[in-house]
Structure 1
């Protein structure tokens, strides 16, 4: 289980006790920062279960815009980029679960994390700063501020200052 190092006053936990599988959530859209976050999760969190989540805004869900953006899977819509997600996972000899939820991105991510027993969120950041960040906000920042589990934000590009 573990042992106490009397000389340093430190209790050390053996690998077996700390090797519990955790559930990671990687919120994704079809962007480079999101792909960077997934790659980070796949390469760093080797033994953990990963769920890739795509949150579809209510307005986006009701808009018939680009027909190629999603494909029907039962009653749900699965984004085409999920095929690339599975390919990336396979490159690491991993598999991932996928889910699509309807809702405002930050709120949907947090609700899924809470209800899905998620232990950590790993997500990309657009790298916005200055006025564009003030006007547009940041989903990653909103998730990080309101999450009850640790959030790793993977930078995803140049700032636009």
Structure 2
């Protein structure tokens, strides 16, 4: 089985990686991090320029994925890692389709009520759009 773990630098994201390693130690696990060049701090894109901003996001992603590789190894789990560019939920679903993924594992902050409506939920959008089963870990 080919599993895809969508990782952000949050406790639920790390919980998703730990779940994949603990529950599927013998399966193929790919961990991806989506960088969204349209998501930046106030004025960052205008100040740095879109190319520099994307480069910095990709460098941060590589550091995150290196940490993921180390943490997976500590769990006795071998993973592949990749950075994808785009709006996170769309990028995760697109990757799953293009790479014959059997299941997506993603962390969720578990927001409810107004904060969920206001902020949206990447995990929920992935679950709604994905053509494969999605496991949401909290």
TM range (shorter): 0.7 to 0.9
The structure whose Rg is larger is: 1
| Contact persistence 2:35–2:61 (CA under 8 A) | no
TM score, norm. by length of structure 1: 0.73
Instruction: Name whichever structure is richer in helix by fraction.
Output: 2
TM-score of the superposed pair, with normalisation by structure 2: 0.84
User: For structure 1, which runs of at least 5 residues remain unmatched after alignment?
Assistant: 1-21, 72-76, 156-161
C-alpha distance in structure 2 between counterparts of 1:148 and 1:129, whole Å: 25
CA offset digits 1:15-70 (Å, max 9, x no partner)? xxxxxxx11000111111100000000000121111101111132483746x8764
Matched, 1:151 2:130: no
Structure 1 stretches of at least 4 aligned residues deviating more than 3 Å after TM superposition? 67-70
Give the unaligned 5+ runs of structure 2: 41-49
Match of 2:5 among 19, 22, 26: 26
Q: Which one has more relative contact order, counting CA pairs under 8 Å at least 6 apart?
A: 2
Q: Which has the higher strand share?
A: 1
Q: CA RMSD in A?
A: 2.2
